[in-house]
Structure 1
Amino acid sequence: MSAVVFSEMQAALAGDFRVLAPDLRGHGGSSPGSGYALTDFAADLDAWLTALDLDTIDLLGWSLGGEVAQLLAAQYPQRVTRLALISSTPRFASTHDWEHGLPDVQIKAMARDLRRNYELTMNGFFSLQFTDEALERERYRQIVAFAVRAGRLPLPEVALAALETLRSEDLRPLLPQLVQPTLVLHGGRDRIIPVAAGRYLGTTLPAARYIEWPDVGHAPFMSRPQDSVTLWREFFA
């Protein structure tokens, strides 16, 4: 998804911070690359920060962006002063020793649906950001429609490659290296990344503060925008 989903938050925080919201390669306004591993995304961000002459940053990542943020903070610790992980996980797919992810059969079904009807599947995927009750309200229907229309969806091959990255990557071995002060926020009704994954980050990361909003899904900053602005303003102050 494009960084356009952060536009409301970016505007609200602009008076207090310099807020930059990049598009990952192949997403939004960024050009497609030749690889979509987490290391590719992290290297892109490191190069982007160098081009902007930014030595250190406070870093916030949501969903896939949260995994990229974890890797960037581990590989380039001198870059990241504080870290916020929103609806994130160290491993997206479940395995025999990780129960807090999506089953492989569900991920493969998602890939199949992307190949069959890309736009419909992406629309449905974005609807999963919210609870069913929230989707019944007009505000959330408008958010979903706006994100699909204005979010400049990635090409199907990019989405499939990113999904395969999520399926295969495992960041658990890196977590002890993330010594930065970290805010972990997760929705108790997240239908994409189980809340247990957020709780795991909260208890495993060396300097984490865990917050759970029981009434929201995968996009807490859209479901509770003002609370999110307040939380981030306090954490990054």
Structure 2
Amino acid sequence: MSEEPQESGAVDPTPLVLLHAEGQAPMAWEDVVVSLYGSRRLLTPWVPGLRPTEKQVVPLADSAAALDQQLMLEGMQQVDLCGLSYGAMVATRLAADFPERVRRLVLIGGQVRPPRMALRVQGAALKLMPASRLAEAGVSKERLLQAMEVTRAADLTDALPQVQAPTLVLVGAKDKTSQPGARALADGIPGARLRIVDGAGHALNEVAPAALVDLLRDFLDT
């Protein structure tokens, strides 16, 4: 989904690309997009590998490369990039592998080496969930299970020192599972800042969109 917000004669700020989490569709960014509409060009693509019609989830590096190609096709030479959870991991990989493409980076609830025990518990619960319940939100149960397998094997330790973009790492105060990963991201990416969002859980785009919009504006527009 792409939005064209700029009025004639306005100076275009850097486009903002928003990457959804596993278990979400691009429409999960709706409240954020509505608030930012008119301020910059926005792109809310399917994270490569998570679209329900795709045959399988691809490794993070391949997902990042596919997204980089999509940005080039969209005419976006450089973007501000924001990702949530699995989307944050793809964003980290893209910023490391294609540093010229990313001006500023925002990572929400991301991980460096995801906690495998937590993923096993989540996977067991997901297998019991009716596929129809996820389909109502535009999410494929099969793709989601595959994404969890890719996530379980991921290790972005080598990618962090390669990230050149100024980076803001966000995590909800109630998202205890993601906080160690957020700290590892902030510690590993040169110059990265960590911000814990009071009263919020994991999916900031859904549970705290107003706070997230304020944080994005403050970080991206300064």
Alignment of 1:30-109 (within 5 A): 31-93=53-115, 102-103=116-117, 106-109=118-121
Partner of 2:37: 14
8 Å Cα contact 2:57-2:150 kept in structure 1: no
Q: CA deviation at 1:160?
A: 1.7
Q: CA deviation at 1:168?
A: 0.3
> Is structure 2 residue 203 aligned with structure 1 residue 219?
yes
TM-score (norm 2): 0.81
Q: CA deviation at 1:64?
A: 0.2
In structure 2, relative to structure 1, the CA distance for the partners of 1:200 and 1:120 (3 Å cut) is farther
1:202 to 186, 202, 205: 186
Where do 5+ consecutive residues of structure 1 fail to align? 94-101, 123-147
2:139 to 133, 150, 153: 153
Q: CA deviation at 1:34?
A: 4.3
Partner of 2:172: 187
> Is structure 2 residue 195 aligned with structure 1 residue 229?
no
Task: Pick the structure with more helix per residue.
Answer: 1
8 Å Cα contact 1:113-1:121 kept in structure 2: no
1:165 to 142, 146, 150: 150
TM-score (norm 1): 0.76
8 Å Cα contact 1:180-1:207 kept in structure 2: no
Q: Distance in 2 between matches of 1:199 and 1:112?
A: 27
Q: Distance in 2 between matches of 1:118 and 1:90?
A: 30
Q: Distance in 2 between matches of 1:229 and 1:12?
A: 7
Where do 5+ consecutive residues of structure 2 fail to align? 1-23
Which residue type is aligned with residue 73 of structure 1?
A
8 Å Cα contact 2:86-2:110 kept in structure 1: yes
8 Å Cα contact 1:221-1:228 kept in structure 2: yes
Q: CA deviation at 1:33?
A: 4.0
Q: CA deviation at 1:16?
A: 1.1
Aligned residues: CA RMSD: 2.1
Which residue type is aligned with residue 166 of structure 2?
P
Which residue type is aligned with residue 153 of structure 1?
V
